[in-house]
Copies of this chain bind each other. A is one copy, B any other.
Amino acid sequence: MPHRPDLVVFDVNETLSDLSALAGRFAEVGAPSHLAATWFAALLRDGFALTVAGANPAFAEVGTGVLRGLLASHLPGQDLDAAVAAVMAGFGELGVHPDVVPGVRALRRGGHRLVTLTNGAAAVPDGLLTRAGIRDEFERLMSVADAGAWKPARAAYEFAARQCGVAIGDTLLVAVHPWDVHGAKAAGMPAAWISRDAATYPAHFAAPDVVATGVDDLAAQLAAG
Contacts and interface: CB of A to CB of B under 8 A. Distances in A.
Tally of this chain's copies: 2
A53 to B, nearest CB: 4
* Most B C-beta atoms less than 10 A away, residue of A44, A53, A205: A53
Interface in A157-208: 178-179, 182-183, 186-187, 197, 199-200, 202-205
Contact of A204 (B52, B61, B152, B205): B61
Interface stretch (A67-75, A108-116, A126-134, A217-225): A67-75
Contacts of A73: 197, 199
Contacts of A205: 46, 50
Interface stretch (A10-18, A33-41, A85-93, A99-107): A33-41
Interface of A: 32, 34, 37-38, 41-42, 44-46, 48-55, 57, 61-62, 65-66, 68-69, 72-73, 149-150, 152-154, 178-179, 182-183, 186-187, 197, 199-200, 202-205
